[in-house]
Amino acid sequence: MRVDPFSEILKLTNAEAVVTGGFTAGGPWAIRFPGRDKIKFFAVVKGSCWVKLEGEAEPRHFETGDVGLLAERRSFVLASDLSVAPLDAMDLFSGSGRTMATLGDGGDFAHIGGHVLLDPIRGRMLADILPPWIHTRASSPHATIFRWLLDRLIEERDVGQPGAQLASAQLTQLLFIEILRSHLNTSNRLPAGRLRALADPRIAPALRLMHGNPARAWHLEELAKACAMSRTSFAFHFRKAAGVAPLAYLTEWRMRLAERALRAEKTPVSVVARSLGYTSESAFSNAFKRVSGSSPMAYRSSLHVADGDASGEALPGKTTNAV
3-state secondary structure the chain: CCCCHHHHHHHHCCCEEEEEEEEEECCCCEEEECCCCCEEEEEEEECCEEEEECCCCCCEEECCCCEEEECCCCCEEEECCCCCCCEEHHHHCCCCCCCEEEECCCCCEEEEEEEEECCCCCCHHHHCCCCCEEEECCCCCCHHHHHHHHHHHHHHHHHCCCCHHHHHHHHHHHHHHHHHHHHHCCHHHCCCCHHHHHHCCCCHHHHHHHHHCCCCCCCHHHHHHHCCCCHHHHHHHHHHHHCCCHHHHHHHHHHHHHHHHHCCCCCCHHHHHHHCCCCCHHHHHHHHHHHHCCCHHHHHHHHHHHHHHHHHHHCHHHCCCCC
The predicted structure's pLDDT at residue 283:
95
Q: Which CATH number fits domain 5-185: 2.60.120.280, 3.30.1330.10, 3.40.50.150, 1.25.10.10?
A: 2.60.120.280
- pLDDT at res. 124: 82
pLDDT for 320 equals: 42
> What is the pLDDT at residue 311?
41
Do the first three CATH levels of 5-185 and 194-307 match, i.e. the same topology? no
pLDDT value for 70: 93
**What is the reported pLDDT for 188?**
66
pLDDT score of 319: 36
- What is the mean pLDDT of each successive set of 10 residues along the chain, which is 323 residues long? 84 90 93 91 94 93 93 94 93 76 92 90 83 87 85 85 89 91 76 86 94 95 97 96 94 93 86 95 95 91 62 36 53
User: Could you say which of 1.10.630.10, 3.30.9.10, 1.10.10.60, 3.30.70.2190 is the CATH number of the domain covering 194-307?
Assistant: 1.10.10.60
The residues spanned by each domain of the chain are 5-185, 194-307
